[in-house]
Amino acid sequence: MIKRLMASMLLLGIAVSMSFSPLFAQDVKKKKLILIAGRKSHGYGQHSFKAGCSLLKKALDENVPGLETILVLDGWPADESILDSADGICIYSDGGGGHPYNAHLEKIDALAKKGVGLAMFHYGVETTKGKNGDKFLDWIGGYFEPNWSVNPHWRLSDSELAKNHPITRGVNPFKTHDEWYYHMRFRPKMEGVTPILSALPPSETLVNKDGKLSRGDGPHSNNPFVREAVLDRKEKQVLAWACDRADGGRGFGYTGGHSHWNWGNDNNRKMILNSLAWICKVEVPSMGVNSKRPTLMELRENMDYPVPDKFDFAKIEKDLEESNK
């Protein structure tokens, strides 16, 4: 009897030890993230969707073992069934009336209702008001609404990061010059939405020192509503946000990303890598997803356009050095 008991305990110990061995750890199913890069747009180093997604994929592949990443080019997969097994989908592309999701609302909505995480970067957070905008509110909690939101270029400073949120783990306030959209349209009372990165934009993004509009009123440039919020009420603007959906899925929006070179900023990059793990429900490390800072040569890979004549790479290096101090 004693021998049988000892033999049973030995077998149980072997089984437990095997279940925690590296060999068996390989059987744990990875979460799947689809990175959708939009078609080429703008000029060299701007809206570099393919290059940016490629950098993020490399960083995730090297530093998040529980996540499998798949890169899709040109704004939408040739075989959209690839999306069916995704735990998270990120789109980094042009938006507005030509947003790739506008023609696939039902597909994305069905995936969202299954709990698939959704992230949208830069122009990818903009769509048209109405049916499309309402879906964006459902999926990620906010979006760029024409004649309400604005798209000036300015240097981020004195920013505020969410406390005790996985996306900000290991992230410190940073300063980057970008086309930081702001005055997003959010759900009423910010229901389910957590501001991740916020700042008060400089008044010069709306008015000059003489009080005249720096850009006239228009769908993207300026409007009375944003002037009241920023100039009169001094409201900090949400530039990145997280959303916990009722369907159990997660959403994330990020208004930066116009300038490709800002992927060389360690804190900016870490915040985004954290967000991509988070929407897929992969545990974000206590100090965030660390990644090697890409060299200038690595940042130049996978660009959509050739290098312009007399492009000032020395200035790019200097700006990155300053922003990483």
We report the CATH number of the domain holding residue 84 as 3.40.50.880
Of 207, 199, 122, 208, which Cα lies nearest the Cα of 157? 199
Model confidence over 241-256: pLDDT tens digits? 999 999 999 999 999 9
pLDDT at 13 over 60: no
Cα separation of 147 and 218, whole Å?
Answer: 6
Say if residues 120 and 90 touch (Cβ distance below 8 Å): yes
Binned at pLDDT 50, 70 and 90, residue 43 comes out as very high
Tokens linked to 223: 């409007």
DSSP3 helix / strand / coil % (the chain, rounded to 5): 40, 20, 40
- pLDDT at res. 196: 98
Q: Can you tell me the distance from the alpha carbon of 43 to that of 110, in angstroms, rounded to the nearest whole number?
A: 35
CB 274 within 8 A of CB 196: no
DSSP 3-state of 112: helix
Structure confidence at residue 119 (pLDDT): 98
Please state, for a pLDDT cut of 90, what percent of the chain lies above it: 91
Residue 242 lies in a domain: yes
In this structure, is residue 262 part of a structural domain?
yes
- Identity of the amino acid at 257: G
Region 152-175: mean pLDDT is 97
How crowded is residue 6: how many other Cβ atoms within 10 Å of its Cβ?
A: 10
What is the pTM assigned to this prediction?
A: 0.91
Domains in the chain: how many in total? 1
Does residue 221 lie within any of the structural domains? no
Give domain status of residue 14, yes or no: no
Question: What share of the chain has pLDDT > 70, as a percent?
Answer: 92
Residue with tokens 């997803």: 289
Computed over every residue of the chain, the mean pLDDT equals: 93
Q: Where are the beta strands (DSSP E) in the chain?
A: 31-37, 67-72, 88-92, 117-121, 142-143, 154-155, 160-161, 177-178, 185-186, 193-199, 237-244, 250-254
Q: Tell me if 132 is assigned to some domain.
A: yes
Full domain range(s) for residue 306: 29-205+235-323
* 93 in a structural domain: yes
pLDDT at 76 over 50: yes
Q: pLDDT tens for residues 169-199?
A: 999 999 999 999 999 999 999 999 999 999 9
CB 139 within 8 A of CB 246: no
Overall average pLDDT of the 113-122 stretch = 98
Nearest to 201 by CA among 246, 248, 256: 256
Within a domain: 179: yes
pLDDT digits (tens, 9 = 90+) for 85-108: 999 999 999 999 999 999 999 999
CA–CA distance, 110 with 124 (Å, rounded to integer): 19
Asked if residue 159 has pLDDT above 70, the reply is yes
Which one-letter amino acid corresponds to residue 70?
I
For residue 23, is pLDDT > 90? no
In a domain, 228, yes or no: no
